[in-house]
């Protein structure tokens, strides 16, 4: 069986470096290359050296189109604006794409959805197995308990995270809203301050904490009268994201155009 050539877009980031190492170590994969933004100090460095493994003989480049042409599938962890541009280019070149970037809104999100009409894309707020199992549990619990149980989602991440609530927290909220048959944007409460009045029935509340080097934790709390149920996931190693993304890339090759999630990748 031919090996799957996987490219890494945003290879100079923390997850990007892990992706390089995981692709090299995963049977059936070959590292097609990696790109970084213009001006990055990583440009020209050996990909293996960048990832802390043996030298690969390939250097970090800035030519995205060449990387995509050299790849069977690419994995992308960058920034919202860049992700939207990369999705457009991937669609034009007919290359499937795994997107792990969070914080996309408006035209950025629309660009990804339009690209998925031309090429297969896995877009996941979180590629870890545990989080995606948590989403399935949240769907079940939210549907069974109903809106008379108040739902609150608390997330904490490291001080450098730039978007809030986290993409994963929002995905958990959307999963709960869908299972209750309501529009997420109509019931989401993303922050509270001052005299806010009583809690609306059926609302999904969010709280975001930032500090230190916390990789990521999510608490989904269902509060009823006389009892509470809490579902929690804590990430202790960023490797869970890169391993899940590589798994998604292998799954994505050969799939028809469409927008997929980790639920499909993992068969949940």
Tell me the β-bridge partners of 216. Answer: 235
Question: Which position among 86, 157, 218, 233 bears the catalytic label?
Answer: 157
Cα–Cα distance for residue pair 187/54, rounded to 1 Å: 50
| Contact call for residues 75 and 245 (beta carbons, < 8 A) | yes
Cα–Cα distance for residue pair 237/247, rounded to 1 Å: 17
The question of whether 157 is a catalytic residue gets the answer: yes
Backbone angles phi, psi at 47, to 5 degrees: -60, -40
User: DSSP secondary structure string, 66-98?
Assistant: HHHHH-SEEEE-S-HHHHHHHHHHHHHHT--EE
Tell me the two tokens of residue 103.
């914080």
The question of whether 161 is a catalytic residue gets the answer: yes
Question: Which position among 86, 105, 158, 161 bears the catalytic label?
Answer: 161
* CA triple 208-210-214, angle to 5 deg: 115
The 8-class DSSP code of residue 59 comes to B
Nearest to 147 by CA among 209, 218, 222: 222
Cα–Cα distance for residue pair 149/228, rounded to 1 Å: 9
The catalytic residues are: 157, 161
């Amino acid at each position: 069986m031919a090996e799957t050539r996987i490219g890494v877009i945003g290879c100079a980031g923390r997850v990007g470096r892990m992706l390089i190492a995981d692709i090299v170590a995963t049977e059936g994969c070959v590292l097609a290359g990696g790109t970084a933004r213009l001006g990055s100090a990583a440009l020209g460095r050996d990909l293996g050296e960048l990832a802390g493994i043996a030298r690969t003989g390939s250097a970090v480049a800035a030519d995205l189109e060449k990387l995509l042409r050299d790849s069977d599938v690419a994995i992308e962890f960058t920034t919202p604006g860049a992700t939207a541009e990369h999705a457009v280019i991937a669609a034009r070149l007919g290359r499937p794409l795994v997107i792990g970037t969070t914080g996309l809104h408006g035209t950025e999100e629309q660009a990804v959805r339009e690209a998925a009409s031309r090429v297969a894309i896995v877009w996941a707020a979180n590629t870890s197995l545990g989080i995606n199992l948590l989403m399935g549990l949240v769907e079940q619990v939210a549907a069974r308990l109903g809106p008379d149980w108040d739902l609150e989602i608390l997330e904490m991440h490291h001080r450098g995270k730039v978007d809030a609530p986290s993409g994963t927290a929002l995905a958990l909220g959307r999963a709960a809203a869908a299972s209750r048959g309501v529009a997420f944007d109509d019931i989401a409460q993303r922050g509270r301050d001052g005299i806010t009045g009583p809690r609306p029935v059926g609302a999904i509340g969010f709280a975001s904490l930032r500090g230190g080097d916390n990789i990521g934790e999510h608490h989904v709390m269902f509060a009823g009268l006389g009892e509470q149920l809490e579902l929690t996931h804590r990430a202790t190693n960023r490797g869970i994201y890169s391993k899940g993304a590589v798994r998604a890339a292998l799954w994505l090759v050969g799939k028809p155009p469409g927008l997929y999630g980790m639920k499909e990748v993992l068969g949940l």
